[in-house]
Structure 1
Amino acid sequence: MSRYARQIAVPEFGSEGQARLRAAHVLVVGAGGLAAPVLQYLGGAGVGRIRLVDRDRIEATNLHRQTLFREADLGRPKAEAAAAAIAALNADCRVERVVAALEPGNAGALCDGVDLVLDCADSFAASYILSDTCQTAGLPLVSASVIGLDGYSGAFCGGAPSLRAVFPDLPQRLGSCAEDGVLGPVVGMVGSIQAQMAVAVLAGIAPSPFGRLVTVDGRSFRVGGFRFDGAPEPAHRARFLAPSEIAESDFVVDLRAEDEAPLVRPTARRLPVTAFGPDGPVPATGQRAVLCCRSGQRSWAAAERLSTVWDGQICLVALGDPTGETR
Structure 2
Amino acid sequence: MSRYDRQMRLPEIGPEGQARLARARVLVAGAGGLGAALLPLLAGAGVGRITLYDPDTVDESNLHRQTLYRMSDLGRPKAQVAAETLAALNPECRIVPRCAPLLSDSAAAALAEADLVIDAADRVTATYVLSDLCLTANTPFISAAVTGRAGHVGGFCGGAPSYRAVFPELPPVLTSCDAAGVMGPVVATLGALQAQMALTVLLGLAPSPLGQMLTLDLASWRIGGFRFDTAPEPDTAGPEILAASQLLPSDLVIDLRSCDEAPVPASPRAQRLPEGGLSELQGAPGQRVVFACATGLRAWRAAEKVRAAGRLTAVLAT
Matches within 5 A, 1:50-129: 50-129=50-129
Which stretches in structure 1 are left out of the alignment for 5+ residues? 320-327
Deviates more, 1:229-238 or 1:200-209: 229-238
Q: CA deviation at 1:177?
A: 0.6
| Residue of structure 1 in register with 2:37 after alignment | 37
| Residue of structure 2 in register with 1:263 after alignment | 265
Does structure 1 retain, via aligned residues, the 8 Å contact 2:144–2:190?
yes
Matches within 5 A, 1:162-311: 162-234=162-234, 235-261=236-262, 262-271=264-273, 274-276=276-278, 279-281=279-281, 283-308=283-308, 310-311=309-310
Amino acid at match of 1:97: P
Amino acid at match of 1:299: A
Does structure 2 retain, via aligned residues, the 8 Å contact 1:161–1:229?
yes
Matches within 5 A, 1:5-44: 5-44=5-44
- % identity of equivalent residues: 53
Q: CA deviation at 1:273?
A: 6.7
Distance 2:103 2:135 in 1: 16
CA RMSD of aligned residues (A): 1.5
Note closer, same or farther for the CA distance 1:196–1:273 as it changes in structure 2 (3 Å cut): farther
Distance 1:128 1:222 in 2: 27
Q: Please list the CA deviations of residues 43-94 of structure 1 after superposition, one character each: whole Å capped at 9, or x if unmatched.
A: 0011111111111100001001100001111111000110111111111111
Distance 2:162 2:26 in 1: 18
Secondary structure in 1 aligned to 2:17?
helix
Q: CA deviation at 1:268?
A: 2.7
Does structure 2 retain, via aligned residues, the 8 Å contact 1:243–1:317?
yes
Q: CA deviation at 1:282?
A: 5.3
Distance 1:112 1:176 in 2: 30
Q: CA deviation at 1:13?
A: 2.5
Q: Please list the CA deviations of residues 226-283 of structure 1 after superposition, one character each: whole Å capped at 9, or x if unmatched.
A: 111111212132111111222232122111112112333454331257433xx44254
Amino acid at match of 1:158: G
Does structure 2 retain, via aligned residues, the 8 Å contact 1:274–1:302?
no
Distance 1:237 1:273 in 2: 23
Q: CA deviation at 1:214?
A: 0.7
TM-score by length of 1: 0.93
Distance 2:75 2:37 in 1: 21
Distance 2:276 2:305 in 1: 8
Secondary structure in 2 aligned to 1:151?
strand
Distance 1:212 1:76 in 2: 36
Secondary structure in 2 aligned to 1:84?
helix
Note closer, same or farther for the CA distance 1:257–1:186 as it changes in structure 2 (3 Å cut): same
Distance 1:143 1:273 in 2: 34
Secondary structure in 2 aligned to 1:121?
coil
Amino acid at match of 1:288: R
**Number of residue-to-residue matches in the alignment:** 316
Distance 2:17 2:275 in 1: 50
Does structure 2 retain, via aligned residues, the 8 Å contact 1:120–1:143?
yes
Q: Please list the CA deviations of residues 83-142 of structure 1 after superposition, one character each: whole Å capped at 9, or x if unmatched.
A: 111111111111011111111111111212110011111211111111111112111110
Q: CA deviation at 1:307?
A: 2.5
Secondary structure in 2 aligned to 1:144?
strand
Q: CA deviation at 1:295?
A: 2.2
TM-score by length of 2: 0.95
Amino acid at match of 1:2: S
Deviates more, 1:17-26 or 1:219-228: 219-228
Which stretches in structure 2 are left out of the alignment for 5+ residues? none
Note closer, same or farther for the CA distance 1:127–1:268 as it changes in structure 2 (3 Å cut): same
Distance 1:203 1:78 in 2: 28
| Residue of structure 2 in register with 1:141 after alignment | 141
| Residue of structure 2 in register with 1:4 after alignment | 4
Distance 2:74 2:156 in 1: 34
Secondary structure in 2 aligned to 1:3?
coil
Does structure 1 retain, via aligned residues, the 8 Å contact 2:290–2:303?
no
Amino acid at match of 1:271: L
